[in-house]
């Protein structure tokens, strides 16, 4: 039977409420980029120790999503499906509010470990929110255009990443002006208490908005969770091995290397690198082994019986890892003589533009979530990225940063617009085109120096900007009753943000920060492979989103 060419109507009222939670994820995650140097100098930490903030934050996504899946495996019912998407998001926001409260108690106790625990709890709440929110956005309209609705959420998320660091800087330092390490060390922790009191209040307010909104459907799924014991066992085994790998890394954060010799520092770097690479191997080998086993006998694997989901888990792992790694290592790159020898305050505009690049692409990707004519969409697709670029420039200029060296970055934005027109709203093609652009950008960056290289690395943000919805949509395509289970698996893989960035950081100690960006080449190459492979996998299951989008958009 020929599939209908009529698009399912999008529930815009519910979607407008849903995207508010996307803002919080971006605001808090990007705000960590300011919180990290604050903790580094206040608690006298080295670079690796300060990066444990990201480590704790992104690891929580894995633990939270694993807990949701384990509940379903042992209880026979999917917890998110039982609660419904709406209540799950409300509970997630309230849990994040508890994390903000834990941060306040940790600050009063003046303990860095307590702050890590508080951020871990905040991110656990985010894990529940994301497990519900992403498939919820897809279900609020036609599945073939779910990519656009998640992009809209990503656009709001990126606005949070754009203003988050600025607002956090103002909250902690009183302004966005450059501040010395000595001044940071002398700041009062009472400002952190005020910051997280406000954050916790916002979480509670958002939860109330969701709870009392009659526009947002409950999104309850009543299907019984199917047997997925094999998937649970391999994930628990992977978790045990990850704990073994992480324990030496985490315990070494107390090691004081202030007066250590170069050989001692190198030995510690290699020690940490060994365990981090071990953690990476656990994830990659574990998931590939699951995929091979499920091909032979699908019973007991649940959502993991679908190869698009397993390969998509690795894609999310790699995508989050490369997105965070590029930004986290950018400041150190810009300190090098070949890249401007910038001081920390001078590098801020470039880091702001990197995170702003994510907003530029996501604003453009969100256009197709609305009912516009084809001509109007094409006009907006050309204009919106430049509007977003201007917003990034203006916001940071108001914050007293010199953005003049980045005016010519508009040419990179123009190249992204061309890529959007080539992609034609098709998820597979979009992911493939932007992954290949990412490979090219990273190669250009590693083979050159100066402004060309800096712009190339910054454009990694433009390439990453629309990948999440494409990967997510393609990974859960055709999962049916396993959709929320598959969503939980994908959220687990945000763990990549806690493994790949420190691996690149440690690699930089061995071969230099510039050449460490070959990590980005490898990551984008896998994403291109996933785009190529998933198209064939879905076609064999009778799913061709690119063809569906083409048929329905042109109808």
For 113-141, what is each residue's pLDDT tens digit?
A: 888 899 899 989 988 888 788 778 777 77
Predicted local distance difference test score (pLDDT) of residue 494: 87
First to last CA, the chain: 18
Regions in the chain scoring below 70 on pLDDT:
1-8, 30-37, 41, 46-48, 51, 75-76, 143-147, 151, 165, 169, 172-188, 216, 218-227, 250-258, 344-345, 369, 545-555
Rounded-to-integer distance, Cα 125 and Cα 135, Å: 17
**Nearest Cα to Cα of residue 462 among 515, 513, 512, 411:** 411
Which pLDDT does position 390 carry in this prediction?
93
Q: What is the pLDDT of residue 59?
A: 85
Q: 512: Cβ–Cβ under 8 A, 6 or more apart, which residues? A: none
Q: Between helices 344-365 and 374-398, what is the axis angle to 10°? A: 160
Give the pLDDT of residue 285.
Answer: 94
> What Å distances lie between residue 337 and 174, 195, 350, CA to CA?
31, 36, 16
List the one residue out of 457, 436, 461, 433 whose CA is nearest residue 515. Answer: 457
Q: How many CB atoms lie within 10 A of CB 184?
A: 16
- pLDDT for 2 equals 43
Task: Convert 132-150 to b/e letters by CB count within 10 Å (16 or more is b).
Answer: bbbbbbbbbbbbbbbbbbb
Torsion 396-397-401-403 (CA) sign = positive
Res 457: pLDDT: 95
Core vs surface per residue 258-277: b (16+ CB within 10 A) or e: eeeeeeeeeebbeebbebbe
What is this structure's pTM? 0.81
Rounded distance between C-alpha atoms, residue 17 and residue 193, angstroms: 28
Q: What is the pLDDT of residue 546?
A: 64
pLDDT for res 4: 47
């Amino acid at each position: 039977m020929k599939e209908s060419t009529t698009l399912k109507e999008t529930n815009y009222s519910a979607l407008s409420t849903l995207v508010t939670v996307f803002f919080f994820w971006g605001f808090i995650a990007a705000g960590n980029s300011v919180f990290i140097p604050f903790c580094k100098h206040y608690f006298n930490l080295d670079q690796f120790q300060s990066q444990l903030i990201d480590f704790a934050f992104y690891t929580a996504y894995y633990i939270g999503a694993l807990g949701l899946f384990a509940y379903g495996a042992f209880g026979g019912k999917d917890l998110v499906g039982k609660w419904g998407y709406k209540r799950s998001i409300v509970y997630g926001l309230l849990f994040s509010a508890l994390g903000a409260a834990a941060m306040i108690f940790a600050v009063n106790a003046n303990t860095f470990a307590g702050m890590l625990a508080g951020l871990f709890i905040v991110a656990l709440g985010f894990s529940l929110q994301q497990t519900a929110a992403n498939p919820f956005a897809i279900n609020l309209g036609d599945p073939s255009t779910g990519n656009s609705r998640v992009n809209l959420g990503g656009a709001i998320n990126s606005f949070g990443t754009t203003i988050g660091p600025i607002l956090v800087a103002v909250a902690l330092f009183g302004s966005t002006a450059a501040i010395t390490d000595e001044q940071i060390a002398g700041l009062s922790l009472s400002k952190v208490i005020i910051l997280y009191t406000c954050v916790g209040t916002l979480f509670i307010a958002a939860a109330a908005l969701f709870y009392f909104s009659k526009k947002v459907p409950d999104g309850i799924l009543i299907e019984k969770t199917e047997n997925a014991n094999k998937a649970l066992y391999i994930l628990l085994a992977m978790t045990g091995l990850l704990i073994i790998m992480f324990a030496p890394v985490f315990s070494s954060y107390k090691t004081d290397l202030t007066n250590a010799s170069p050989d001692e520092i190198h030995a510690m770097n290699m020690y940490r690198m060994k365990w981090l690479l071990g953690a990476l191997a656990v994830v990659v080998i574990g998931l590939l082994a699951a995929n091979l086993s499920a091909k032979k006998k699908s019973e007991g694997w649940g959502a993991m019986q679908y190869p698009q989901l397993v390969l998509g888990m690795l894609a999310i792992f790699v995508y989050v890892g490369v997105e965070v790694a590029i930004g986290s290592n950018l400041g150190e790159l810009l300190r090098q003589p070949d890249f401007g020898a910038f001081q920390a305050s001078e590098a801020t505009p470039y880091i702001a533009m990197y995170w702003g690049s994510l907003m530029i692409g996501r604003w453009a990707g969100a256009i197709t979530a609305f009912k516009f004519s084809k001509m109007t969409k094409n006009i907006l697709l050309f204009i919106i990225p430049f509007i977003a670029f201007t917003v990034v420039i203006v916001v940071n200029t108001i914050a007293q940063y010199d953005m003049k060296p980045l005016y010519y970055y508009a040419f990179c934005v123009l190249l992204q617009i061309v890529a959007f027109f080539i992609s034609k709203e098709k998820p597979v093609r979009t992911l493939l085109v932007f992954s290949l652009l990412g490979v090219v950008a990273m190669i250009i960056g590693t083979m050159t120096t100066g402004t060309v290289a800096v712009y190339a690395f910054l454009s990694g943000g433009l390439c990453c900007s629309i990948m999440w919805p494409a990967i997510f949509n393609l990974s859960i395509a055709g999962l049916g009753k396993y959709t929320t289970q598959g969503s939980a698996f994908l959220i687990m893989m945000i763990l990549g943000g806690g493994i790949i960035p420190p691996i690149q950081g440690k690699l930089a100690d061995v071969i230099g920060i510039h050449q460490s960006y070959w990590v980005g080449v490898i990551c984008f190459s896998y994403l291109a492979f996933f785009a190529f492979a998933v198209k064939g996998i879905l076609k064999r299951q009778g799913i061709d989103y690119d063809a569906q989008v083409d048929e329905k958009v042109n109808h």
